[in-house]
C-alpha cells in the first residue's frame, strides 16, 4: 500500500541525522486539524476485506485491508513509511550500516514493551524476523537464511544480507511485525503497537489505546474496525454516519462525498497502481514486440478518466512513480494504433485467437480497468476475454502463472522496492516471469552503490529496461481516497501502506 515517502535513507548519512529526519517526516504525515488535538472518543473505521481472506497471523499474507489495519495498530514493525525520507522509525529507533556493508544494526526503541508489560528484547525481534523469513522467503526479509538475523546484546539486532544492500530499512517497512518469542497462536494477540485488541470477530475488531506505547499515548480512546465486502457498502455507511472513516474507499465514493459539508475527502497521490501483467518468459506475450504493441494500444487518458473518475494520473509503464529517482525523461507513451498493429505483424502474433485477461474485485477500479483495456485492445485486433475470479482462486491458480492478468499494489514510491519484490529474477513474487541479466546486474549495483550518483544511474537503468522490455503495462496511478466525517482530524496523508498509521488521529467536538 503512496504519497510522498520521497527520499531514500542512505548509508552515508549518520544515524542521528537519519532518525531526526524520519521523526520530522512522521510528524508531518498527518492532516492538520482544526483547533487543538483533544483526547478521547472512538474512531469507527471501515475497511475492505473478504471473509475467505481473513488472517490474524501478522507474518502471513494480509490480503484484506481490514486485517492489515488491525495488525498495524496492534503490532510494531521495525520501520514504517515516512514522508521525507520515506523510511521512519517504529520499533527500531535507529539503524546504521556497519563497516561490512552487508550488515545493518537495528536498535530497539527505548521503553518498547508488549501489551502485557514485558519489555521487547532482541530475542523477540530475532524470533519474529526469522519466522517471517521462513514463511515468506527473501521477499519480505532479504537475507540468504534465517540464521543471518542475530541478536547484538539485549536491545539490538544485526541483519546480514548476501551482498551490500543500502536499501534494507526501506525493504523492511511495515512488514516486520514483532511478536513475543515462540508465539504461534495469534487469536489473542500481545503486540507492542499503539492499540490493544479488546475484541475480534469475523474480521471486525475493537481496539483500545495503549497508554504505555513507546511512541507516545494515542489521543483516541478506541478504534473500531468494521470489515466491508464492497466499497459501495462502505461508502454508504460513511455517508449515513454509521462509520467515521471509510479507508481506501475509492474515487467513486470520493466524487459522491465531495462538497458535502459533513464529510472530508482525503486524496493521496501515487497511491494505488493496477498494472496489467504480461508474462515474459513464455506464452503469447513473451515477444517484447507484442508487449510493446499492447502498451501502444492503451488510451491512458481514458483509463484515468473512467477507471479512477479522474482521481489519478497517467503513468509510463514504470513502477515507482513516487520515487525521487523516477525518470521523467523517458518519452511518454501515447496511443499508436498503426504502430501497434505493425509490431503484432512483425511478431507473427495470432490475432485469430481470444486471450484471457484474469482480474479480481480487490482494488477499486481493478475490474473496470481490465474491461476498458480489453475494449481498447480490440482496436489493434487483439481479442481479450475478461474473467473475474474470486481472490482465493486468483492467488492459487492465476497469480505468477497466467499469461495475462491484473495486479494491484498499495505503494508506489520506490523503484527499488518493485525491482526487489516483483522483477529481480531471484524473487518468489516475480509476477511476469521476468529474467533479465542486465536488469539483475543493475539491481545489485543499485543496492551496493557507494554514492548517490552511482545509485541514481543504476535506478535509471532499471527503469529503462522495464520501459523497453519489462512485463508490466502501467497505464496510470490511482489516488488513494478516504472519506471521513469532518470531525475526524489528524488522518495520515501518506499513501499506500502509510494510510494505516492512525495513532495520531483525533476527533474534534
Q: What is the pLDDT of residues 262-292, one digit of tens each?
A: 999 998 887 889 999 999 999 999 999 999 9
**Do 446 and 500 have their domain in common?**
no
* Lookup result for grid cell 526479509: 141
Mean pLDDT of 64-90: 92
What domain count does the chain have? 2
Tally of CB atoms within 10 A around 491: 25
Specify whether 332 is located in the same domain as 382: yes
Q: Distance between CA 437 and CA 445 in Å, rounded?
A: 12
The rounded Cα 161 to chain-centroid distance in angstroms is: 22
Q: Region 444-456: what's the mean pLDDT?
A: 92
For residues 500 and 422, membership in a common domain is answered with no
Confidence of residue 14 (pLDDT cuts 50, 70, 90): very low
The answer on pLDDT for 505 being more than 50 is yes
Question: Is the domain of 160 the same as that of 40?
Answer: yes
Give the alpha-carbon dihedral of 253, 51, 371, 304, to 10 degrees. Answer: 30
Element (H, E) at 400: none
| HEC-encoded secondary structure of 218-238 | CCCCEEEEEEECCHHHHHHHH
**CA 338 to the chain's CA centroid:** 36
Please state, in angstroms and rounded to a whole number, the distance separating the CA atoms of residues 462 and 418: 10
Beta carbons of 121 and 155 less than 8 angstroms apart: yes
Are both 166 and 309 inside the same structural domain? no
Is residue 469 one of the residues assigned to a domain?
yes
Nearest to 70 by CA among 194, 215, 211, 229: 194
Taking the CB of residue 303, how many other CB atoms lie within 10 A of it? 23
Domain membership flag for residue 56: yes
- In this prediction, residue 37 carries a pLDDT of 93
| E runs forming strands in 274-341 | 276-278, 312-314
Contacts of 473 (CB under 8 A, 6+ apart): 275, 276, 277, 278, 291, 294, 295, 298, 317, 373
Same domain for 151 and 284, yes or no, is no
Given a contact cutoff of 8 angstroms between Cβ atoms, the answer to whether 320 and 414 are in contact is yes
CATH label of the domain that carries residue 435 = 3.10.105.10
| Position 15 confidence tier, pLDDT thresholds 50, 70, 90 | very low
Question: Does 239 fall in a domain?
Answer: no
User: Is 300 a domain residue?
Assistant: yes
- Tens digits of residue pLDDT in 25-70: 334 444 545 578 999 999 999 999 989 889 999 999 898 999 999 9
Residues 321, 345, single domain; the answer is: yes
Phi-psi region of 270 (alpha: psi -120 to 50; beta: other; left: phi over 0): left
Same domain, 169 and 276: no
Answer whether residue 60 is part of any domain. Answer: yes
Does one domain contain both 497 and 446?
no
- Residue 206 domain-assigned (yes or no): no
Per-residue pLDDT at 2 exceeds 70: no
| Residue 397: inside a domain | yes
Grid coordinates in use for 308?
A: 479512477
> What is the reported pTM?
0.82
Considering the domain architecture, whether residues 492 and 452 belong to the same structural domain is answered as no
Question: Residues for the chain: how many in total?
Answer: 509
CB atoms within 10 A of CB 83: 25
Identify any residues that bridge with 94 across adjacent strands, giving them in sequence order: 107
Q: At 497, is the pLDDT very low, low, confident or very high (cuts 50, 70, 90)? A: confident
Query: Parallel, antiparallel, or unpaired for β 383-389 and 354-360?
Result: parallel
Residue 351 CA: distances (Å) to CA of 163, 341, 345, 373, 432:
45, 10, 9, 16, 22
Residue 423: pLDDT band (50, 70, 90) is: very high
What is the domain-level CATH number for residue 180? 3.90.76.10
* Chain segment 280-330, per-residue pLDDT in tens: 999 999 999 999 999 999 999 999 999 998 999 999 999 998 888 999 999
Assess whether 448 and 494 both reside in one domain.
Answer: no
Give a yes or no: residue 218 inside a domain.
no
Q: How many CA atoms lie within 13 A of 284 on its CB side?
A: 20
Q: Does residue 8 have a pLDDT over 70?
A: no
Range of the domain at 351: 272-478
Which stretch of 7-21, 49-63, 194-208 has the lowest confidence by average pLDDT? 7-21
Backbone angles phi, psi at 345, to 5 degrees: -65, -45
Q: What is the dihedral of CA 319, 321, 325, 329, to 10 degrees?
A: 90
Indicate if 391 and 450 belong to the same structural domain: yes
pLDDT of residue 426: 87
Residue 392: its H or E element: helix 391-393
Average pLDDT, the chain: 90
Amino acid at each position: 500500500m503512496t504519497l510522498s515517502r520521497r527520499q531514500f535513507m542512505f548509508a552515508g548519512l549518520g544515524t542521528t541525522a537519519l532518525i531526526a529526519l524520519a521523526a520530522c517526516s512522521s510528524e508531518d504525515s498527518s492532516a492538520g486539524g482544526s483547533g487543538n488535538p483533544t483526547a478521547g472518543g472512538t474512531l469507527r473505521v471501515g475497511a475492505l476485506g473478504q471473509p475467505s481472506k481473513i488472517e490474524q497471523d501478522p507474518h502471513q499474507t494480509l490480503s484484506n485491508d481490514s486485517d492489515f489495519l488491525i495488525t498495524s495498530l496492534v503490532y510494531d514493525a521495525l520501520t514504517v513509511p515516512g514522508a521525507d525520507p520515506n523510511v521512519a522509525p517504529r520499533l527500531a529507533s535507529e539503524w546504521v550500516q556497519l563497516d561490512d556493508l552487508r550488515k545493518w544494526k537495528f536498535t530497539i526503541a527505548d521503553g518498547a514493551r508488549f501489551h502485557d508489560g514485558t519489555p521487547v528484547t532482541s530475542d523477540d525481534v530475532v524470533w519474529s524476523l526469522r519466522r517471517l523469513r521462513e514463511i515468506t522467503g527473501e521477499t519480505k526479509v532479504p537475507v540468504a537464511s534465517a540464521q543471518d538475523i542475530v541478536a547484538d546484546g539485549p536491545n539490538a539486532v544485526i541483519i546480514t544480507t548476501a551482498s551490500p544492500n543500502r536499501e534494507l530499512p526501506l525493504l523492511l517497512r511495515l512488514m516486520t511485525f514483532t511478536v513475543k518469542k515462540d508465539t504461534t497462536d495469534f487469536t489473542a494477540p500481545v503486540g507492542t503497537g499503539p492499540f490493544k485488541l479488546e475484541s475480534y470477530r469475523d474480521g471486525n475488531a475493537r481496539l483500545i489505546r495503549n497508554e504505555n506505547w513507546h511512541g507516545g499515548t494515542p489521543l483516541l480512546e478506541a478504534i473500531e474496525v468494521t470489515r466491508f465486502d464492497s466499497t459501495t457498502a462502505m461508502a454508504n455507511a460513511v455517508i449515513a454516519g454509521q462509520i467515521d472513516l471509510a479507508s481506501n474507499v475509492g474515487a467513486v465514493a470520493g466524487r459522491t462525498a465531495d462538497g458535502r459539508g459533513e464529510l472530508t475527502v482525503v486524496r493521496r497521490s501515487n497511491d494505488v497502481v493496477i498494472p496489467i501483467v504480461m508474462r515474459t518468459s513464455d506464452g503469447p506475450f513473451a515477444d517484447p514486440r507484442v508487449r510493446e504493441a499492447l502498451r501502444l494500444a492503451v488510451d491512458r487518458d481514458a483509463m484515468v478518466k473512467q477507471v479512477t473518475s479522474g482521481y489519478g494520473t497517467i503513468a509510463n509503464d514504470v513502477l515507482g512513480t513516487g520515487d525521487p529517482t523516477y525518470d521523467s525523461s523517458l518519452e511518454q507513451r501515447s496511443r499508436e494504433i498503426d504502430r501497434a498493429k505493425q509490431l503484432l505483424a512483425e511478431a507473427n502474433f495470432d490475432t485469430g485467437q481470444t486471450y484471457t485477461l484474469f482480474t479480481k474485485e480487490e482494488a477499486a477500479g481493478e475490474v473496470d480497468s481490465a474491461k476498458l483495456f480489453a475494449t481498447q485492445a480490440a482496436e489493434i485486433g487483439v481479442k481479450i476475454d475478461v474473467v473475474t475470479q474470486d481472490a482465493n482462486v486468483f492467488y492459487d491458480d492465476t497469480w505468477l502463472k497466467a499469461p495475462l492478468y491484473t495486479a494491484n499494489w498499495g505503494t508506489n514510491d520506490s523503484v527499488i522496492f518493485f525491482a526487489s519484490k516483483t522483477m529481480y529474477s531471484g524473487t518468489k513474487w516475480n509476477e511476469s516471469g521476468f529474467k533479465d541479466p542486465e536488469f539483475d546486474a543493475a539491481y545489485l549495483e543499485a543496492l551496493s552503490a557507494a554514492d548517490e550518483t552511482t545509485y541514481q544511474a543504476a535506478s535509471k537503468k532499471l527503469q529503462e529496461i522495464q520501459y523497453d522490455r519489462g512485463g508490466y503495462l502501467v497505464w496510470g496511478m490511482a489516488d488513494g481516497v478516504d472519506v471521513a466525517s469532518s470531525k475526524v482530524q489528524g488522518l495520515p496523508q501518506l499513501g499506500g501502506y502509510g494510510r494505516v498509521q492512525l495513532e495520531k488521529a483525533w476527533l474534534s467536538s
